[in-house]
Structures are given as structure tokens and as C-alpha cells.
Amino acid sequence: MPAGIFITATDTGIGKTVVAAGFAMALKARGMRVGVMKPVATGCASYGTRLISYDAAYLFEAAENEYAPLTSPVRFRNPVAPSVASVYEQRPIDLEEIDKAFRRLQSFYDFVVVEGIGGLLVPIKGKYLVANLIRDMGIPLIIVSHSSLGAINHTLLTIDSALIRGFLIKGIIFNRAPLVNYSLAEMTNPRVIHELSGVPVLGSLPNMDDLSVEKCRFGKLREVFMERVNVDSILN
């Protein structure tokens, strides 16, 4: 089966989209055909009768994909958990549609980068969580976290939740890590998390003023990602 990775995070707004896009661009630089997917998106923008996920569009452009409907099969307007948005917008979520889109992307590309929504325990449909989606896809995951105060607890909880379910964790990427004027917590948290969990730290990405998900600007994301993240450890 073609390879893939699931990008999850300790919370919403941590930077999964930037990490997923950066990884896709790094793989493309190696000559790989990379598919991308945001299976479920909420908080989408309305353009007439269409709903557009900025996250999915960012991934689609980063990977230069050809199959937009497969990249973003389920979209909602309200910025809430998918199970809640589905009820309020009176549109049921078809889990089979998500699975078919993922399998088709696997057949078209060498590697598929999937970005989740929120964290592992976000409900998609009823008691079907993001964690259930990862299990059904059968791919390992990367955890995106912050390095500031609270990161130890948030990250270890996510790791425990993944390990209890038997998931393979490729590693942790810390996003928006300060390069200067960092606090003691930001300086020490990555090391403490690694020591307590045994999960590899794959690297860290700094704040990048030249990129914007909403405006689809990538700046030097590819170069920074390749320089600061251990891509080989993810692929091996």
C-alpha cells in the first residue's frame, strides 16, 4: 500500500496546516509525487453556494495536486467540531466518502499527507473520533505541538492517547518556536517531552512572517522545513 502520514496536534490552531504543507513541499523537492488531504474541514469560507477550506487549498497548492474534490471531501461553515457542524447545518457526514477519497489519492500518488482537524479526540460523527479515522487509514502520525508553557502536559496527553490506541508516532514537530527572546519553558520543554515520552523530536519551525494560509503565501516554508525538520526520520 502506498505510504502516508497523518498530521495531528495537541490542540487546534497549533499549525498542522503549515507543517503538512512544508512536509509535502519537502517530499516534492525529493522528486516524490505527493497527495494531500484535509478529510474534514470546519470554519470554511462561503463563496456563493461553495464552501472553501483555506487549509485544504493551502495544502493543494503546496503539493500542486490535480484532484481538489479528493483533497477536501467534507466541509462545513461553522467553526466547531465536525459532529456539531453536521447537526447544525443538517448535512450528514459520509465516512465512506472520506475513505474512498483517501484510497483514490493513495492510488494516484507515491505518498499522501493527511491533515487532521483539532486533536485526536475531536468527534467527527457520533462517537467516531479523529483517532478512529487514523486507525481506519492505517498510517503513522506526526504530532504538532507548541513549546511554550503547558506544552509538556498537552503533548504527553496526546502521546498517551495515541500509544493506548497502538498508533505509530513518527515524532513531534514544534511549531512557532522562537529563535530569540525565548522563555525557560520554551528552551527546555522539547527536551523534557522527549525524555518523558521517548518520542523523537523531529525538529522545530519558527514564526515565519512571509507565509499566510489564508492568502496562500508560502514564503520560504520549503527551505526552512528541509533545514529544520528531519525528513529522513519520517520516511524511514
Which residues are marked as active site? 38
Using DSSP's 3-state secondary structure scheme, residue 199 falls into coil
Residue-by-residue DSSP string for 202-214: EEE----TT-BTT
Q: Are 113 and 7 in contact (CB under 8 A)?
A: yes
Q: Which amino acid is located at 204 in the chain? A: S
Give dist(CA 82, CA 88) in Å, integer.
10
Give 204's strand partners: 174
User: What are the angstrom distances between the C-alpha of 146 and each of 114, 153, 205?
Assistant: 20, 11, 10
Residue with cell 525557560: 184
12 φ, ψ (degrees, to nearest 5) = -80, 155
Sign of the Cα pseudo-torsion (157, 93, 108, 45, in order): negative
